[in-house]
Amino acid sequence: MLSFFYRYGLFLGLFFASFGSLLGQKNFPALQELQLQPKAEAFLQTAIAQFDGQRYRQAILALEQAMQANEEGQLSDILFYYKALCYLELEEFEAAKNQLDTAISFVDNKAHYYYYRAMALLQLGQNQAAYLELDKSLKLQANNPKAWLKKGLLLQQKQAYRQALMAYEQALSYQPNWSEALYYKGILLLQLGMAQKGCSCLEEAKNLGLDKAARAQSQYCQIKSN
């Protein structure tokens, strides 16, 4: 299993995780600047270990202890964000959204906060609100292919097909061989009557090992044999 940091685009500096990697954030506060309190650091480290072990309730308890020890408040947004990730894993999406609301009330310029709030809102069936969150996330950080893919799916659902196609193409511009994006682009192109291009995308996705692309190609694309 991938660790807490790699799964969520985070990396560890001393006992503290800065945000980056998969989500591409570039500028982080250094530990020396934050001057974290030892107790808060220790509880945070415990929470990370619990999360890596998929013990999400225990991770939440450790994060709450870190919050109590975080007297000067330097870690406030980060601790609420981490709690949100735990609740997302537990599929408690309203709780996840509430934690992200609080994180964003402390710091409102972190793209991944809006991205994960969009994920919680999608699970709650609040698609329009999720779309707005994805938009905020992408304005702060355009190079997140997952956000472009989710935006494309929501646009396709609203029958904004040309805009959806542009979103899928943006996703692929940042992650060219992503089978999921190729699959949804292919399905959309078929919807738009561009059968050859659509089937070509499905072929690429199938060759990358995506089973549903192979099934869609078999169903919708006529493959001529010589």
Closest CA to 97 of 79, 70, 120, 115: 120
DSSP 188: H
Stretch among 74-78, 127-131, 150-154, 208-212 having the lowest mean pLDDT: 74-78
Going from the N-terminus, what domains does the chain have, and what CATH number goes with each? 1-126 (1.25.40.10), 142-226 (1.25.40.10)
Helix 161-174 and helix 179-191, axial crossing angle in degrees, nearest 10: 160
Specify the pLDDT at position 173: 98
Q: Give the C-alpha separation, 65 to 67, whole Å.
A: 5
| Residues whose CB is less than 8 angstroms from the CB of residue 119 and which lie 6 or more positions away in sequence, other chains included | 88, 130, 150
Q: What is the mean pLDDT of residues 136-161?
A: 97
Q: Give the C-alpha separation, 129 to 131, whole Å.
A: 5
Query: Confidence class of residue 27 from pLDDT cuts 50, 70 and 90?
Result: very low
User: pLDDT digit string (tens) for 39-80?
Assistant: 888 898 899 999 999 999 999 999 999 999 998 888 899 999
